[in-house]
Amino acid sequence: MSETLIIGASGQVGSALASSLTAAGHAVLRATSRAAQEADQIQLNLLTGEGLDAAFSRSERVFLMVPPGLTEQHRLLGPAIAAAQSHQHKKVVLMTAMGADADPNSPMRQAELLLKNSGLPYHILRPNWFMQNFNTFWLPAIQATGQILLPVGEARGSFIDARDIAAVAAVLLHDSERPSQAWTLTGAEAFNHHEVAAVLSEASGKNIGYSDIPPEQMRQMLLEAGLPADYADFLLLILGAFRQGYAAAVSDHVSQLLGRTPIALADYARDYRSAWA
């Protein structure tokens, strides 16, 4: 049985995708930048290219993404897409981000175009901001101050649960009917961060609020958290797009692909309530 290679297998989407595919009876090959410790792992380093040919020679389908903290998506994913071409992969599913096609010169869009022009069967997933950011990236500020601290004003976002992204990827990796295309993945409704804070408060029993902060304060927080300066600047750029209203749109693509409504924010909050409680 040929394996499905998962890049980013330890992340929110990748780990859920691996579990979903395994439960459905598919063989999974989880990429890791460290030495492989388990039978379904293989060492692969996108930064250096180490292990690229070995991983793609064992697989016929691949889920591709660039790990958080890296901004040159096209340079990192180009060799992976070339390896998929060389080994004649049956399907490539690439995760970028909602709005990645807005700027033809952005690294994410350049990565999309590399895949689109590769001749490989593909699907591109463009998810909105993850709900899971509230229990991971934004969690230290919530724990320290009781506030979601972001420079996004009153703008709304149609946040999506990472588990829905994984479910969509699992469907598309083994789909032979749908033509190659891009999918915008969002939740069923959009919330501002005051509303998000209220949902988290109700689920956790903890009083959580939201404060709009200056971009300069956000940048300092990101740098103090250890993020590279170029990635901090990238996050500020896309947070600025959020503030301008570009994250508020709602798509029905999750419902089309899964045959159900996306996971609701309140359900996400109940599932992860221990993070804030």
**Length reported for the chain:** 277
Q: What is the mean pLDDT of residues 55-61?
A: 97
Range of the domain at 254: 3-129+160-186+249-263
3-class secondary structure, 157: strand
Q: Please check whether residue 200 lies inside any domain of the structure.
A: no
Q: How far apart are CA 257 and CA 64, in angstroms?
A: 19
Q: Please check whether residue 272 lies inside any domain of the structure.
A: no
Q: Please check whether residue 221 lies inside any domain of the structure.
A: no
Q: What is the CATH number of the domain that holds 35?
A: 3.40.50.720
Q: What is the mean pLDDT of residues 35-54?
A: 94
Number of domains into which the chain is organized: 1
Q: Please check whether residue 212 lies inside any domain of the structure.
A: no
Q: What is the mean pLDDT of residues 90-114?
A: 95
Q: Which among 155, 179, 166, 170 is positioned nearest to 241, based on CA atoms?
A: 155
pLDDT value at residue 69: 73
Amino acid (one-letter) located at 236? L
pLDDT value at residue 183: 98
Q: Please check whether residue 46 lies inside any domain of the structure.
A: yes
Which helix (DSSP H) or strand (DSSP E) does residue 78 occupy? helix 73-86
Give Cβ neighbours of residue 126 (< 8 Å, ≥ 6 apart): 96, 97, 98, 99, 100, 101, 182, 183, 184, 185
Q: Please check whether residue 239 lies inside any domain of the structure.
A: no
Q: Please check whether residue 201 lies inside any domain of the structure.
A: no
pTM: 0.96
Q: Please check whether residue 205 lies inside any domain of the structure.
A: no
pLDDT value at residue 272: 98
3-class secondary structure, 30: strand
pLDDT value at residue 85: 97
Confidence at 112, pLDDT banded by 50, 70, 90: very high
pLDDT value at residue 72: 85
Q: What is the mean pLDDT of residues 32-51?
A: 93
